[in-house]
Structure 1
Amino acid sequence: MKDFKIFLFSILLLISSQMFAQQTLRGTVIEKSTGQGLPGASVVIKGTTKGTSSDFNGKFELNDVKSGDVLIFTSIGFINKEVTISNSYNITVSLEEDSQLLNEVVVVGYGTTTKKDATGSVESITSKGFTKGNIVTPENLLSGRVSGVSITTSGAPGSGSEIRIRGGSSLSASNSPLIIIDGLPIDNNGTTGSRGVLANINPNDIESFSVLKDASATAIYGSRASNGVIIITTKKGKSTFSFNYDVQYTFGEIKDRINVFSADAFRNIVQQQQPSMINQLGNSDTNWQNEVLRKSVSSLHNLSLRGTIFNTVPFRISAGFTNQEGNIITSDFKRNNASLSLTPSFFEDHLKVNFNVNRVHEFSRFGDSGQLGAALRYDPTHPVYDSSSRFGGFYQHLTTSNGTTIVENGTTNPVAALLQRTNLGQASRTYGNIQLDYKFHFLPELKAVLNLGYDETNGMGTDITTKTVPVTTSNPNFIGNESFSNQKRTNRLLDGYLNYKNNLTKNIIGDFTAGYSYQKFTNEGLNSGNRRDPNSEADPYTDDPLVLIGFFGRANLTFWDKYLVTLNYRRDGTSRFSEANRWGNFGGAAIAWKISEESFLKDSKIISDLKLRASYGTTGQQDIDARGLFLEKYRLGNNNSQYILGGNPITIAIPSAINPDIKWETTSTIEVGVDYGLFNNKFTGAVSAFQKNSTDLLFNDVSVADGSNFSNTITRNIGELQIRGLEFSINGDILKTEDFDWNFNFNGIIFDREIKELALGQDVRTGGIAGGTGNNIQLLREGFAPNSFYVLKQLYNADGTPIEGAYADLNGDNIINDDDRYLKGNPDADIVLGFQSNFNYKNFDLSFNLRANIGNYVYNNVNSARAQFDLLQDNAVLGNIPTSVLNTNFQTTADVITSDIYLEDASFVRMDNITLGYTFNPIKKFSNTSLRIWAGMQNVFIITDYSGLDPEVFGGIDNTIYPRPRNILLGANIKF
């Protein structure tokens, strides 16, 4: 009986232990810094795929948890934490923010990964690493921060930028990267009234950029990814309430001037070179460049509010107000924007919703930068104003013809030309998307994502000159000009895809994505002529809609957490090409080996991370200016293009050029790289070598035989371009203590572009220049970089003085002509470098950015078209010229316009920004409140041998640019 009782007791104890060994665990995940609940944190039982995630209050429940289980808590931007379950089944776990880990999170096409697990060339920059300063458009947040990415921006207010990733991949088609905002690919074409496609996006709303560079990373975007991809993620709501107010004031001034003759020096040089014109000299002393330029004052105000509605729906709402004054008189830019983001979750986080909407109003007054060129030429001995003038009180050069006093062509007072012209633009843009992310209840490893996006911009422009401005010399009547234009662009997107991620075996993890994309772009508008001229009619237009359709798939496989494989495929169709060439197939493959996970490096104190990767892939290009090239199209003529039949005017239809054979431009990229971390990731970075080959290059304006088409030029595929490069980056924490933090980023790229093939081996001239008619200074030629400069080799006297019109007979035929021109240099730098450093000491912070271009050339068209003594006489009146003429003593523009003396090495080192700030808590009882006050300078200095105003010039031809001002910045950031 006693043995039976012991046996029965044992059985009951065993049953009891089995009943209570596995229980439901309840808990809360909180942010360590704030104590607030952390939504979306992952909770997984170690060694299994069983887990859950926290709700918007940070709470979670997990079934079948037993004592001794180890739970892994993870959340993007926080340090992972492991907790062993003992006897408590109600726990609170705090996670600590990890800025380094946050920087490793990378948004890729249709998903996310981490830098550690990426197989392609991908780089992510978050708001903590953005370039600081007078940032009005978002792309400048990246300036100098990402290897292989160069951004060139003019000094115009709200100006757009030329963005190049690894030099671009095309000749005449777009070289701009695909830009995606919260999953919505945007159109790179601008709109009437707007400064640029990114001008109406508020930089303050951006959380991070992911830059995808190699074909493995970009192939999933197929037809639009040959020039790389920039994915912008905007800021979202948080579980904790916060309010931010940023204010900034900018005081700008253009310090440099192009050296022309002062009034007294001008009188002397006229007396020497054009003595017959002395009677036209005036008695004033006017610096016309100073008159058309001004000091500027600008302001930025940004407000944002984050939190949750009803403790369940995270939201962020923001508003921004930008008022940027240009440094050319009459040039201004204003932008008002508002945004709303909602990220609710339903059905125990099985359905996640991401809703974003943005509304922007942009207002511009465009100051004609061409008047800077006019200011160089205008006679400095005459005043700006003339009280007796019938031209609005402005002095103008006058002459007498047929007894009528008129203004001579080409010599208009540049101040009058700016002040008497009101060139206005407005653009209203609404863009955003809603993304539904559903994780299936019966199979949580599978999720479906639907993304609907919309982008609409309505722009209009008016260009009015006063009636005190005569139209032409032949028509001196004061009617002025009034033109009007409007434009509407729309962009509609539907993306849908399925994603399955699970352990295929104990040591193999699979991540599979397959989907469909549909995007449609429309463009319509109205261009009008002079509404004060009865012979000028409005010209409405509607472009053919552009439709892009894609089917895509990706597979990521991880073996033993150290061997990675990525496969991408996309099939794209475009309405730009005929049915025979409409579809293109693009794909990529990449492998990576996390060497640091191997046993021989696992415990290394030097190498903390080491990954070797290799990739190959193809991407496409169809972004050419012309549309419907395969269609037979006709346009109606205007009143001047009519036939008279039976006394009745008949409007004619004019056929457009056609090319049904045009097809995809394709870029193939091969790359090998190493990602590394040293000394417990104190130093991290990457080194990559790549080669891109673009074939079937799309090119506008290719000559065709007379009579073979409805134009003498068409768009066609003409050749092959190769780009080879080596890029690197290194990030380092030089010193990190409780009070002091010093870190830096250094990146660079060395690359070379070469045209491998052109149609029939024929050269193509590009790069039109001022000075004469129909002159070009650049050339496309096999074996050379695109747009290389095509010049004559200048000859010099024994004392080093250039001989006007004397050039080397390079082909030895004793005749100096175009056959003796040679190729020298190109606008692209051989080496592009960026350096950023941040210092933090207690409450003080200091940061600066440096950039350098080495090996880029600029053709100085300011001097080549203006620095000749014959130009002292300009259309029967006097005109000023650059003082550089004293270095050459050249007389005639036509004899020297193609001389290599005007081609200059434009290598430079520039400090873009430096800022100093101090942060303190003005209200001690509220620990989360902070106030940062800061000051800085933008465009601090530049070191260069280039003689012009600025060595950073679009396209490498400097024919007066909108100069970049030096800005003094003052600002404050308030948070609570």
Structure 2
Amino acid sequence: MKTTINSLLFLLFILPTFMFGQNTLTGTVTEQSTSIPLPGVNVVIKDSATGTATDFDGNYQIEVNNGDIIVFSYIGYQPIEITYSGQASLNVQLIEDTAQLNEIVIIGYGSTTKKDATGSVEAITSEDFTKGNIVTTENLLSGRVSGVSITTDGAPGTGSQITIRGGSSINASNNPLIIIDGLPIDNNGLNGSRGILASINPNDIDSFSVLKDASATAIYGSRASNGVIIIVTKKGKSTFSATYDTQYSFGEITDRINVFSANAYRQLVASQPINGTTLDESLLGSANTNWQDEIFRNTVSSQHNLTMQGSLFKVLPARFSFGITDQEGAIITSEFERRSLGLALNPKFFDDHLKVSLNANLAFEDNRFGNNVGGALRYDPTQPVYDPSSPFGGFYQHRNGTIVSNGTTNPVASLLQANNTGDSNRTYGNLNFDYKFHFLPELRAVLNIGYDETEAKTINVTSTLVPTNDPVKGNNSRGYQKRTNKLLDGYLTYNKEFDKFRTEFTAGYSYQKFTNNGGNTGNSRDPLSFSSTFADPDVVLIGLFGRANVTFLDKYLLTLTYRRDGTSRFSKENQWGDFPAAALAWNISDEDFLKDSKLISNLKLRASYGITGQQELQEKDIFLNRYRGGDVNSQYQFGNTVIQSLIASEINPDIKWEETATLEFGIDYGLFDERLSGSLNFFQKNSTDLLFTASVADGTNFSNSIIQNIGELQIQGIEFSLNADVVKQDDFTVDFNFNATFLDREIKELALGQDVRTGGISGGTGNNIQILREGFSPNSFSVFKQLYDNSGNPIEGAFVDLNGDNVINDDDRYLKENPGADVILGFQSNINYKNLDLSFNLRANLGNYVYNNVNSSRAQYELLQDNAVLGNVPTSVLNTGFQRTSDVIISDIYVEDASFLKMDNITLGYTFNNISKHLKSLRLWGGIQNVFTITNYSGLDPEVFNGIDNTIYPRPRTILAGANFKF
């Protein structure tokens, strides 16, 4: 909500003009959706100079005559006109003018309006966020923005895989640059934390801006190839208000991977030989255990958020927030808890010439990790969970005197007898000074200081009763990590109108430093005894940037952007990179032949071209001569002294920026007075000098493969978005958002044209199922073409000899599809009738494929018995009849179409207004998360990371109930 964004631009009290014989009218002006009083609302008698403004409590008083028309107006709200008919008091509710609010778009180092934007930028405010069981910030955007794909598994508080327009790289990062209140954050994961945004409370987020084309992103230069997501947190306000949000959720795993029940398993063991060898039925037990049921649980989770805002000491707009999230995982022992504190102060000084914004946040994240779906699939269903005679903590374990050396471990015991925890404490925020010069108000100086520090620890303690552990020490380890991120940005912005021209010029400097260090213990119970420590080389980024916006006649727009970046990751010769961009736009709807059109309310053409960079490397100093200490096997003795050897590490002094050039053409449209609006974009991205780990000739370096600049990747796409106000009445509204993205990815060049195998899989040793090859999409599945008999049944180990040499080997593997979706769709709708609200969100992927590694590595009869241990297998083995894993694991039968349609959530709520003097409103709501999935994929979930499904953490279906109190 934008209840008081511009309130301090008005005088809080305007003395009314008193006229003899007039009536005194009083009342209160509030916001319709929240009943919160609005200060600074203009209350004016139409066609006169008589007027006043509401005070801090939204109250007003004005002298009027019968028949006067009173106009109530406030920036960001629809004005109301009421004819005075003699009443003594008149209370008014103003409705937010959504179209006007959405005009403001946050961009790099500034803001613009939708009308003046020349780049591909999409803004999402808090009113448009995806609703439901939102635990981590990025899921507020799920399905909302064209070109943005967010993949999340079912682990509590888990991080997500976020890509914008398919990314831009192969081996380097494909994560977008995420900026919180002007502070770019580190995309690397942290030990002890679920994800880079897991510690941030979604309730504190006010808006997102997604920058997609090079014109919008180039001002961030070296880190902008994968797009930019700018997050703005909620700020302090002058009017006092308080809210309390509470939510409870009840989750259940509704699907299972089909394996044999205990009785069916007994029959299978009795009747099924393995390669002619009969199984040992004496190993069967008498229990009937569904191991997936044993490791899964129904969950109860909660979220609580308290927010207060108002003026401290009557002059300092402030906001305070406190949040608690407690989320149980669907797998026993898996938990996520977050406690967050936030403070925002937004004072203004010197007649609003100096604006100060302070955002300070503390977050405490506690995790317990646990996942053993794979063990639950394989464990013998005829054995019990518990065994009173067991020396292993009362849990049944396969035994032959002691545990069978190659036997699997009781999956329930493996979870309950391990306490793997991670805690992280995060402090982050920024201090921003925005000064408009008194002697030259067109010139602003902005200084932004940002800080982000996280201390994290992991403690992994496994019971001494676990059969494979040391019976005295058990198996214990501890880790510690501290990461800091410091930022200093300063820039000048000059705005000036020259007759028919409007101009804005921005120039600035940016300095950012990242540090990372920590330590780990071996199998020791001493928490201070670190057997190894590490201190990553500091990463320093320096940027010089500038931007010029020129508008002619409010119709013709030009944007020029330039950034010069320096990084400590490269040698002096390659340390600096240049990233320019240019964009043109034409507001056709402002031309004479369209400006009075009742059909077309907005029509803008855009074109842009620019270059952005990439410098995310795991090795931060590969350009330097480095040495590492050898182990005990590489020591040598000199006299009586044992000397540790030093071993040279691989080096590439020529490493440099990966660059992405983006060309885009776009159309922004609005029809029927913006009842329909959206955009259509056509883009092409070419990434060159790819940062890629590739082989080198023997003896030429200190490794057989190093990071190099090789290859080219091209991504072409079309984006379409449509926002529609289907029904727009005072007490009934229906709106929806639809977006679609079409993507085509192709590797144009690799080093020496060589194939690179990737995508390691379970089953066998050293198997890879994906490949990088010129002319094809990255990570395409490389498989053998399965042969079938006359009845349509697959023939085990029989594949098509594609090259006709009468030998089946890797030369006969072909490329079958890839994990990337060709089409990504999103649909969200909100329906409001008086105080009743309904919203839902749908997503779909078309043309994405998944390699079912669950079946390929487990659904073979030979796995029913491994020496002296029986194990279960998926029932899909009945469809193939396959005996040996090694014969079939590379078959294309396991590459499945994983297109899907999902309803992520549906919520229904009712708002009670003006309940009491202090309680302004109460909204009660309920909903369902993960409502349904329609797909032909045979696994648990068609949406998996990197296209390889090897027992993912399943997503529960969750029933939600919540209440929102506004005071």
Same-fold status (TM-score > 0.5): yes
> Counterpart of 1:599 in 2: which secondary structure?
coil
* Aligned residue identity for 1:316: R
Which of 432, 435, 441 aligns to 1:435? It is: 432
Q: Which residue of 1 aligns with 2:128?
A: 129
- The aligned length equals 904
> Per-residue deviation at 1:712?
1.4
5 Å-filtered alignment, 1:762-777, equals 762-777=754-769
Q: Which residue of 2 aligns with 1:554?
A: 547
**Does structure 1 residue 722 correspond to structure 2 residue 721?**
no
**Does structure 1 residue 874 correspond to structure 2 residue 860?**
no
Alignment partners' CA distance in 2, 1:77 and 1:329: 48
**Does structure 1 residue 686 correspond to structure 2 residue 685?**
no
> Per-residue deviation at 1:873?
1.1
Q: Which residue of 2 aligns with 1:213?
A: 212
> Does the aligned pair in 2 maintain the 1:282–1:381 contact within 8 Å?
yes
**Does structure 1 residue 341 correspond to structure 2 residue 344?**
yes
**Does structure 1 residue 449 correspond to structure 2 residue 450?**
no
Q: Which residue of 1 aligns with 2:577?
A: 584
**Does structure 1 residue 246 correspond to structure 2 residue 245?**
yes
Which of 307, 310, 313 aligns to 2:313? It is: 310
Which of 484, 490, 493 aligns to 2:484? It is: 490
Which of 323, 328, 331 aligns to 1:328? It is: 331
Q: Which residue of 2 aligns with 1:387?
A: 388
Distance 1:424 1:148, change over 3 A: same
5 Å-filtered alignment, 1:101-140, equals 101-140=100-139
* Alignment deviations for residues 577-599 of structure 1 (CA, whole Å, 9 cap, x no partner): 11111100001111111111011
**Does structure 1 residue 614 correspond to structure 2 residue 616?**
no
Alignment partners' CA distance in 1, 2:807 and 2:341: 65
Distance 1:157 1:94, change over 3 A: closer
Q: Which residue of 2 aligns with 1:412?
A: 409
Which of 933, 940, 962 aligns to 1:942? It is: 933
Deviates more, 1:791-800 or 1:710-719: 710-719
5 Å-filtered alignment, 1:823-838, equals 823-838=815-830
**Does structure 1 residue 862 correspond to structure 2 residue 872?**
no
**Does structure 1 residue 502 correspond to structure 2 residue 510?**
no
> Per-residue deviation at 1:875?
4.2
Alignment partners' CA distance in 2, 1:235 and 1:777: 46
> Does the aligned pair in 2 maintain the 1:55–1:348 contact within 8 Å?
no
> Does the aligned pair in 2 maintain the 1:453–1:494 contact within 8 Å?
yes
> Per-residue deviation at 1:116?
1.6
**Does structure 1 residue 196 correspond to structure 2 residue 199?**
no
TM-score (norm 2): 0.91
> Counterpart of 1:939 in 2: which secondary structure?
strand
Alignment partners' CA distance in 1, 2:96 and 2:432: 27
* Aligned residue identity for 1:521: F
Alignment partners' CA distance in 1, 2:422 and 2:407: 26
* Alignment deviations for residues 896-937 of structure 1 (CA, whole Å, 9 cap, x no partner): 0100000000000000000000000262445x7000000000
Q: Which residue of 1 aligns with 2:185?
A: 186
Deviates more, 1:863-872 or 1:271-280: 271-280
* Aligned residue identity for 2:660: T
> Per-residue deviation at 1:544?
0.5
Deviates more, 1:108-117 or 1:631-640: 631-640
Alignment partners' CA distance in 2, 1:792 and 1:326: 38
> Per-residue deviation at 1:649?
2.3
* Aligned residue identity for 1:839: I
* Aligned residue identity for 1:493: L
Alignment partners' CA distance in 1, 2:634 and 2:810: 38
> Per-residue deviation at 1:74?
10
Distance 1:815 1:497, change over 3 A: same
* Alignment deviations for residues 635-659 of structure 1 (CA, whole Å, 9 cap, x no partner): 2234554323323322222221111
> Per-residue deviation at 1:250?
0.6
Alignment partners' CA distance in 2, 1:97 and 1:898: 58
**Does structure 1 residue 958 correspond to structure 2 residue 955?**
no
> Counterpart of 2:858 in 1: which secondary structure?
coil
> Per-residue deviation at 1:532?
5.9
> Does the aligned pair in 1 maintain the 2:12–2:39 contact within 8 Å?
no
Alignment partners' CA distance in 2, 1:273 and 1:645: 63
**Does structure 1 residue 521 correspond to structure 2 residue 524?**
no
Alignment partners' CA distance in 2, 1:711 and 1:642: 20
Q: Which residue of 2 aligns with 1:908?
A: 900
Which of 692, 712, 717 aligns to 1:699? It is: 692
Q: Which residue of 1 aligns with 2:523?
A: 530
Distance 1:97 1:643, change over 3 A: same
* Alignment deviations for residues 735-777 of structure 1 (CA, whole Å, 9 cap, x no partner): 1112111100000101101000001000111100000000000
Distance 1:322 1:546, change over 3 A: same
Q: Which residue of 2 aligns with 1:595?
A: 588
TM-score (norm 1): 0.90
Q: Which residue of 2 aligns with 1:270?
A: 269
Distance 1:36 1:532, change over 3 A: closer
* Aligned residue identity for 1:930: S
* Alignment deviations for residues 115-145 of structure 1 (CA, whole Å, 9 cap, x no partner): 1211010000001000011100000000000
Alignment partners' CA distance in 1, 2:845 and 2:453: 37
Alignment partners' CA distance in 2, 1:27 and 1:314: 14
> Per-residue deviation at 1:465?
0.4
Alpha-carbon RMSD across the aligned residues, in angstroms, is 2.3
> Does the aligned pair in 1 maintain the 2:279–2:865 contact within 8 Å?
no
* Aligned residue identity for 1:414: P
Alignment partners' CA distance in 2, 1:137 and 1:647: 58
Alignment partners' CA distance in 2, 1:58 and 1:351: 26
> Per-residue deviation at 1:96?
6.3
> Counterpart of 2:373 in 1: which secondary structure?
helix
> Does the aligned pair in 2 maintain the 1:662–1:716 contact within 8 Å?
yes
Q: Which residue of 2 aligns with 1:68?
A: none
* Aligned residue identity for 1:300: Q
Which of 466, 473, 477 aligns to 1:479? It is: 473
Q: Which residue of 1 aligns with 2:368?
A: 365
5 Å-filtered alignment, 1:652-691, equals 652-691=645-684
**Does structure 1 residue 570 correspond to structure 2 residue 601?**
no
> Per-residue deviation at 1:95?
8.5
**Does structure 1 residue 223 correspond to structure 2 residue 215?**
no
**Does structure 1 residue 970 correspond to structure 2 residue 964?**
no
Alignment partners' CA distance in 1, 2:353 and 2:74: 17
Alignment partners' CA distance in 2, 1:80 and 1:924: 27
Alignment partners' CA distance in 2, 1:366 and 1:745: 37
Distance 1:315 1:949, change over 3 A: same
* Aligned residue identity for 2:556: Y
* Alignment deviations for residues 355-401 of structure 1 (CA, whole Å, 9 cap, x no partner): 0000000000001x2x110110000010010000001111001125x
* Aligned residue identity for 2:484: T
Alignment partners' CA distance in 2, 1:174 and 1:537: 31
> Does the aligned pair in 1 maintain the 2:12–2:55 contact within 8 Å?
no
Deviates more, 1:642-651 or 1:814-823: 642-651
> Counterpart of 1:829 in 2: which secondary structure?
coil
> Counterpart of 2:188 in 1: which secondary structure?
coil
> Counterpart of 1:270 in 2: which secondary structure?
helix
**Does structure 1 residue 37 correspond to structure 2 residue 30?**
no
Alignment partners' CA distance in 2, 1:735 and 1:694: 44
* Aligned residue identity for 1:811: N
> Per-residue deviation at 1:510?
0.4
> Does the aligned pair in 2 maintain the 1:397–1:408 contact within 8 Å?
no
> Counterpart of 1:819 in 2: which secondary structure?
helix
> Does the aligned pair in 2 maintain the 1:730–1:746 contact within 8 Å?
yes
> Per-residue deviation at 1:76?
6.7
Alignment partners' CA distance in 2, 1:646 and 1:670: 67
> Does the aligned pair in 1 maintain the 2:473–2:524 contact within 8 Å?
no
> Does the aligned pair in 2 maintain the 1:771–1:897 contact within 8 Å?
yes
Alignment partners' CA distance in 1, 2:526 and 2:675: 70
> Counterpart of 2:102 in 1: which secondary structure?
helix
> Per-residue deviation at 1:407?
3.9
> Does the aligned pair in 2 maintain the 1:499–1:514 contact within 8 Å?
yes
* Aligned residue identity for 1:147: S
Alignment partners' CA distance in 1, 2:75 and 2:352: 16
Q: Which residue of 1 aligns with 2:23?
A: none
